[in-house]
Every structure is written in structure tokens, then in C-alpha cells.
Amino acid sequence: MVIYRATPAFAGTLHYGGRILFDKSGHLFVSTGERSDLQTRPKSQDLATGLGKIVRITKDGKPANGNPFINTAGAMPENYTYGHRNVQGLAIHPQTGDLWENEFGPRGGDEVNRIEAGKNYGWPTISYGLEYSGGKIGEGLTQKEGLEQPVYYWDPVVSPSGMTFYSGDLIPEWKNNLFIGCLSGSHIVRLEIKDNKVVGEERLLTDRQDRFRDVQQGKDGALYAVCDGAHGKLYRIGKK
């Protein structure tokens, strides 16, 4: 059964988003991409579409109660935030309960954002990246009134993918740190966060050349990371 379909359909093979996460009330956050093409890219800013969004839906696919655009004429009521490029990671901060995400930037400008209902995260109006050709994105702006700044960004890119906040007891010094699997970066990023700002970054397993697709916490308090590619591996990270 299809419970949600990101529309409009587009004949392409890039930027699907695709991450799914339950919130505390049992609703689903779902991320979508803007399908990469110059023709579909502006739809990140168009609330009448489901492209380049984080949506919030019930388990049977209806717009969740309290969604920010439920009463906005012409807007899809499933939409929760907009102005995203290709959201690959979703996680809820164990202390604040806030939703955080990461998304691919273009050439430069991979982002970590703290998500607040109804806000515009800027793509493609603002970005810390360039076109792959080296040209500017739009007017080449990095900031604009009314558009959210990322909490953190990378240039050069790391291609952030699945992520989780650590809440276990096995490695107490990692409590509430954000762990992000990186694809082209072929490492795991550990971010220390204080008062909603990143105050430290460490890169783990940098010598492996593995594409880290996702990282999650196990019931034993260890972190588990999966890799894609020809030699797909599962890592268990227990102690420093």
C-alpha cells in the first residue's frame, strides 16, 4: 500500500531523499529530494509540491494534525518544512526533542539543519555550494532574510547520509553527540553540539575507504554502521 508519494513525478534518477523517522506521537517524518534537474529544482520553494521537503504524515499517509501549512491555500498539507535539496539523514535530539536533518549540497555546502515547523531552509535561493560546473547557484547568495542558515556545513563535501544522536551508556563521553555516515567522505562524522550549535567535529574510520550509508545505536549501547558498495560491511563501534 502506498501511503505517500512525492509529487510531481519526474523522469530522472537523482535526489529522492527517502529517509523516514517516527516522531514521539507516532507520526512519520519523511524526507524528499528536488530531483536534481534545473527544471524541478525550484519546486523546493513551491509548497504546492512534495519535492525538496520534509513532510509529516500519519501512519496511513494523512497530513498530521498541527502541520504548519494545513490552512495555507494551495499548499500540500503534508509539508512540514521546505527549501531542501536532498535530505539524507533525520534524527531527534534525545534531550531537546528537536528534529535535526542533513542534506547533500551541490559542489560544497552539505548541511546540518535543526528543523522547525514551517520554516524555509533556503535551497536553491541560498547555498554554500556551487554548481558542479563551478558556476554560481542562482544569484550566488549564502544568506537571505527569512531563510534559515544551516547549523553547520561542509566545503568540500562529505556526502552525509544516515545519522543518529548517541544516547547510550557504553561510551558516556559521546552522549548526545550526532553521528553521521558519510558516502564520498568515506568516514563517520561525530559532532559535539551545545546550545544547538556545533562545537566540535571528529572524523572516525577515515582509513577504510568505505561508503557509510547509515549509523544507528544498538540496544547494547554500541553504534552500528552499514556501508554500501561491492564489499558492503556492518561495523560495530563499541569503545574508543
- Of 103 and 210, which CB lies nearer to Ca ion in the complex structure? 103
CA dihedral 168, 169, 171, 177 (to 10 degrees): 40
- Of 121 and 212, which CB lies nearer to Ca ion in the complex structure? 121
How many CB atoms neighbour CB 140 within 10 A? 10
Closest approach of Ca ion to the CB of residue 147, in Å? 7
Closest approach of Ca ion to the CB of residue 150, in Å? 5
Query: Residues with catalytic annotation?
Result: 15
How many residues appear in the chain? 240
Closest approach of Ca ion to the CB of residue 162, in Å? 19
Closest approach of Ca ion to the CB of residue 153, in Å? 8
- Of 122 and 162, which CB lies nearer to Ca ion in the complex structure? 122
Closest approach of Ca ion to the CB of residue 111, in Å? 5
- Of 155 and 220, which CB lies nearer to Ca ion in the complex structure? 155
3-state secondary structure 84-150: CCEEEEEEECCCCCCEEEEECCCECCEEEEEECCCCECCCCCECCCECCCCCCCCCCECCCCCCCCC
Output DSSP code: residue 57: E
* CA dist., res. 59 & res. 99, Å (int): 18
Q: Point out which residues bind Ca ion (CB under 5 A).
A: 121-122
Of 82, 70, 93, 89, give the one whose Cα is nearest residue 21.
89
- Of 189 and 237, which CB lies nearer to Ca ion in the complex structure? 189
Q: Which residue minimizes CB distance to Ca ion?
A: 122
Strand arrangement of the beta sheet that strand 178-182 belongs to = 160-165, 178-182, 188-194, 197-204
